[in-house]
Structure 1
Amino acid sequence: GKYHGNGEDLNALISSDNLVPYNISGQDLFLGTDKDKHKLITTNIKLFNQNKLHPDVMDALEHSSLPEEVFIKPGDTLRELIGDNDKDPTNDPKEFFYLQGVRPDGSSFKEKFALSKAYQNQESATKVSDLLDKIGHAYGNTSQNKVVDVSLNNWGQIEIKNLTPGSENLDFHLISSDGDFDDLDALRSSGKRVTEYVKSAFVTDRSLSQVKAVPNMYNPKVLEIPSVFV
């Protein structure tokens, strides 16, 4: 329907000749946004600590430990998030992240950035928190102003919260790879590993001239298709 009122304040008559205004106008009541609501996106992939999940492949000290499903935490290393095909943390290539989304101001964007996965000692390693900070910067966070809050929940899912009250503008898609490409079709047909953080149309291919199977990081005998088809 249509609102036929005005934008003046609403008032409540609480006693004779005693009007108390509401904190919202009639126009905002019917047409406005929920100003106490903040849009929140939660990814639909639970992320695990790959070192705990594959100690026989990744962990030089605890390689005989039993595999555990432990959700990733901000203080874990990027290597523990992405995984590795050997026990040496010093020889890993950079990880390239391909991010696409909508900022709180409504602008759409695409951004690629790289983070180091290798490290000489764990204290100086790139952490998952560094990745969360990079995602926040892509959405417009600065040292002086924060427009989104990027975090991990208890189930290893990335959460992005729009800090602008009432704004519905927010979207998030992310994949990463050790392959550095400007074109995602070239990435998917390159035979490079693709790690997904969101199951969505962003990694869905309706047509590709070619695609290469990628050996599983932990079992080279297993081949995986780095794409989703519908």
Structure 2
Amino acid sequence: MIVAGMSTIPSRAHTSPLAIASLLPQVDRLWLSLDGYEAIPAFAKHPKIICQFGQQHGGLKAEGKFLGLALDDDAQIYVSADDDMLYPKSFVRHLARMCILHPKPVAVGTHGSVFKKDIRSYVSDRKVTMSRHSQIRPWRKVDVLATNGTVHLVKDLKFDCRNWTYRNQVDLNFLEEASKQDVGLVTTMRPRSWTRPLETRQSNSIYANLLKNDSVQTSRICKILGR
């Protein structure tokens, strides 16, 4: 069974329905973590969608996108997605295929980051990579995979996001879990603008807060990568 997970907040109520609509036909089930909601919004009422309130699971924030990985016993392929992204019709199929074809256990995404050997800033000392159809190899290894669009096999990587210490540091938490279970992180070939942001430069985004202070993330990435 293909199971997806997404976390959403009230300020994304205008993008969430579009993101969900683009992803839902590609999966068997979507676990939607509601952060800051007191009731289930109309756009989340669908037979394929299982809603959970983040506050009922230890105050889950963005990491709630992985709640289904812990709670859904039927999941064989797990998809992580964001509430402000538009996914093409072939998104899950393509990433799942690349995941299965890889000779080693991997999580596959559309973009990620590669860090310098000497890391002084999580934001500044990395290169964001986006694989294109023009590259020779079908995969590219990255240090950190962006979890706004990933696919992995549950038999290779399974964890419980409710045990995570850090909130709204999903990419780093995902890296930490993958490292513990010896699962590689790769991006794969895709056309330009294959996935599209529905909104950018949100003042309340995780990235906006990261730009203000990345000291914790810098310390963590150095520790995880051993640099």
Q: TM-score range by the shorter chain?
A: under 0.3
The structure whose RCO (Cα within 8 Å, separation 6+) is larger is 2
The structure with the largest helix share of the pair is: 2
Structure 1 or 2, whichever has the larger Rg, is: 1
> Normalising by the residue count of structure 1, what TM-score does the alignment of the two structures yield?
0.26
> Normalising by the residue count of structure 2, what TM-score does the alignment of the two structures yield?
0.26
